[in-house]
Structure 1
Amino acid sequence: MSEQQAEAKKAFGIRLRNVRLDARLTGRQLAAATGMRPSKISRIEHARQNPTEDDIRTWCRACSAEAQIPELIATHRQIDEMWQEHRQQLRQGIKNLSAKNRPLYERTKLMRIYTSLNIPGFLQQPMYVRAVIEAVTQFHNLPDDIDEAVQARLNRLRLLTSGPGQFAFAIEASALYVTLGDRDTMEEQFDFLISATRMGNVSLGIIPLGATRSRIWAGDNFYIFDEHTVRSDQWTGTYETSRPIEIATFLKIFSLLREQAVYGVAARAEIEMARGLLQSRETPSH
């Protein structure tokens, strides 16, 4: 079990305990009302035992909290699915992982994307994609299916350039200064980012270096699919949730990040500034 899952299970146990406390029932009184043993009530509340969905329904009915049943059950179902370790996901290969994600990408009408340390996948160009996959393959000791994996990843680019969906990006300028591959790789990437700022279905915002962060700060990459799913990438895995309260929080975060970004001419200036630094580093001195 991941640390995130363990914390989620503890939080869920506390929620059930609060349902009981709001009903002004002791553990023994709830046990008597539900037919559960007092020890089971205690184990559930302290996250030492997983409740079944029937347990949750019975618990809420005994506490006159029937209205909370749907949300509690939805949360309970997500706990075991909310954290996906990269090493587990990648066992099926990068190519197959991309194919698995494609249906979600295709049915999403509005994609909101924030990245802080790399160019978002939907904007990555072929050489940049290859550099990313080569690094991932080497780090995780994956089979060498790089060519197929690159082609599978580039399907995301086709969704952006020819699909019906809308895309809103908030990218930290710091991501522009992380060099993957060689100079040609980054030049190709910068050229496409410039063109993306002019696409009708794309809102591309760059948060400048040194921007005042009075309301929100830089954080982990995340993707919001319409208003039904959020994925957030971390070093060892991906956090995923469809809980309305979590999605509302990420939507607020994204809105605040977008307010700090610049667009159009100003965004293109940020991209060219990063290009200029790359070129100056590789210009031989005389």
Structure 2
Amino acid sequence: MARTVSVSGSSSAQAARQVLADRLRELCRDAGLEGKQLAQACGWHASKVSRIMTGKTSPSADDIRAWCRACGAEDQTDNLVASLRVVEGMWVEWHRMERSGLKQAQESVRELYERTRRFRAYSPGFVPGLIQTCGYTEAVLRAVQQRRVATDDVADAVAVRMERQRVLHEGNHQFAFLMEATVLANGLGGDEVQAEQLEHLLTVGSLPNVSLGVVPKRTNRTRMPVEGFWIYDTAQDNVELVSGHLTITQPREVAAYADTFAQLADLAVYGAQARALITTALDALR
């Protein structure tokens, strides 16, 4: 059955949803059918057809199959169902993505990480996953599991994330990580975990393919923190929001995040200055 669309806040998701709605409307028109006629052929109320055509309601795969049959366009079914899967994948609520646990969510991005050559990540709240220690990752994922996931497969999810970090050392990958200075003292996992993580940042920040920037606390700041995001080459941007996971592929939106990253990068310090901030946070723990 069709589902009422939840607003994701992304024009990428909205635009893709509208493209699918337009294609379905064109099939109806090409078949010489009015909306009421299509509804009758499918055994639906006419308002359902109207909502699907305008993008207000997302069709199910079964809805698309019935629509294509009514329009005599069953050869279009597979392509349209595939388009639906793409639309559904752009905005995924956490309860859907993590309903079987955290391991699957970690494994789902393995191929994306392997094929990406240029990574850019901004994190206002915690150390990005690719440069986390095992203990820090466990603290992060345990907090996630306790807040929203019934299945406890944290140990398996940690193992998957640790294995994924091999992209730091294999292949032709370039990484740019930006963190707010508050990340260096967020207390995740306790003092011992924090100290180990800060020491790891000093090590990973020296890798030739890694740029590690820290945005220091300032009173005259010109750019406020935004939600954390990852940019994969120029093709995709992932954003983690409170309610769900957003995948952005529309070029102008990906470009907007790239511009935001560049502006935040201008506020950050690198090299010796970044190491000094990390060392200061480490000394405070000791």
Q: TM-score, normalized by length of structure 2? A: 0.73
Query: Residue in 2 aligned with 1:95?
Result: 103
- Look up the equivalent residue of 1:218 and give its one-letter code: P
1:170 deviation in Å?
Answer: 1.3
Q: What pairs up with 1:134-153 in 2 under 5 angstroms?
A: 134-153=142-161
The alignment covers a number of residue pairs equal to 245
Structure 2: how far apart are the matches of 1:244 and 1:77?
A: 20
Query: Residue in 2 aligned with 1:233?
Result: 240
Query: Residue in 1 aligned with 2:22?
Result: none
Moved more, 255-264 or 5-14: 5-14
Go from structure 1 to structure 2 and tell me whether the alpha carbon gap of 1:90 and 1:37 turns closer, same or farther (over 3 Å shift): same
Structure 2: how far apart are the matches of 1:211 and 1:233?
A: 27
Query: Residue in 2 aligned with 1:274?
Result: 281
Deviations 1:158-201 (A, max 9, x none): 22134431101111112112111121101110001111221101
- Look up the equivalent residue of 2:234 and give its one-letter code: E
Q: Is the 8 A contact 1:98 1:153 kept in 2?
A: yes
Where do 5+ consecutive residues of structure 1 fail to align? Answer: 16-30, 53-74, 280-286
Structure 2: how far apart are the matches of 1:34 and 1:88?
A: 36
- Look up the equivalent residue of 2:203 and give its one-letter code: S
Query: Residue in 2 aligned with 1:3?
Result: 7
Query: Residue in 1 aligned with 2:252?
Result: 245
Q: Is the 8 A contact 2:13 2:90 kept in 1?
A: no
Go from structure 1 to structure 2 and tell me whether the alpha carbon gap of 1:14 and 1:99 turns closer, same or farther (over 3 Å shift): closer
Query: Residue in 2 aligned with 1:108?
Result: 116
Query: Residue in 2 aligned with 1:168?
Result: 176
Where do 5+ consecutive residues of structure 2 fail to align? Answer: 20-27, 37-46, 65-82
Q: TM-score, normalized by length of structure 1? A: 0.73
Go from structure 1 to structure 2 and tell me whether the alpha carbon gap of 1:10 and 1:170 turns closer, same or farther (over 3 Å shift): closer
1:252 deviation in Å?
Answer: 0.7
Structure 2: how far apart are the matches of 1:91 and 1:133?
A: 15
Structure 1: how far apart are the matches of 2:10 and 2:180?
A: 31
Structure 1: how far apart are the matches of 2:135 and 2:284?
A: 20
2:212 partner SS: strand
- Select which of 248, 253, 261 maps to 1:254: 261
Q: Is the 8 A contact 1:124 1:189 kept in 2?
A: yes
Deviations 1:111-166 (A, max 9, x none): 11000001000110011011112212222243232222211110232221344311
Q: Is the 8 A contact 2:99 2:149 kept in 1?
A: no
1:42 deviation in Å?
Answer: 7.9
Structure 1: how far apart are the matches of 2:236 and 2:277?
A: 30
1:3 partner SS: coil
Go from structure 1 to structure 2 and tell me whether the alpha carbon gap of 1:99 and 1:211 turns closer, same or farther (over 3 Å shift): farther
- Look up the equivalent residue of 2:271 and give its one-letter code: G
- Look up the equivalent residue of 1:277 and give its one-letter code: A
Go from structure 1 to structure 2 and tell me whether the alpha carbon gap of 1:163 and 1:128 turns closer, same or farther (over 3 Å shift): farther
- Look up the equivalent residue of 2:155 and give its one-letter code: D
Structure 1: how far apart are the matches of 2:157 and 2:57?
A: 41
Structure 2: how far apart are the matches of 1:8 and 1:200?
A: 34
1:242 deviation in Å?
Answer: 0.9
User: Are 1:125 and 2:147 counterparts?
Assistant: no
Query: Residue in 2 aligned with 1:200?
Result: 208
Structure 2: how far apart are the matches of 1:49 and 1:181?
A: 43
- Look up the equivalent residue of 1:4 and give its one-letter code: S
Q: Is the 8 A contact 2:10 2:248 kept in 1?
A: no
Go from structure 1 to structure 2 and tell me whether the alpha carbon gap of 1:35 and 1:122 turns closer, same or farther (over 3 Å shift): same
Q: Is the 8 A contact 1:113 1:223 kept in 2?
A: yes
Moved more, 100-109 or 82-91: 82-91
Q: Is the 8 A contact 2:94 2:244 kept in 1?
A: yes
Structure 2: how far apart are the matches of 1:226 and 1:9?
A: 19
1:9 deviation in Å?
Answer: 7.5
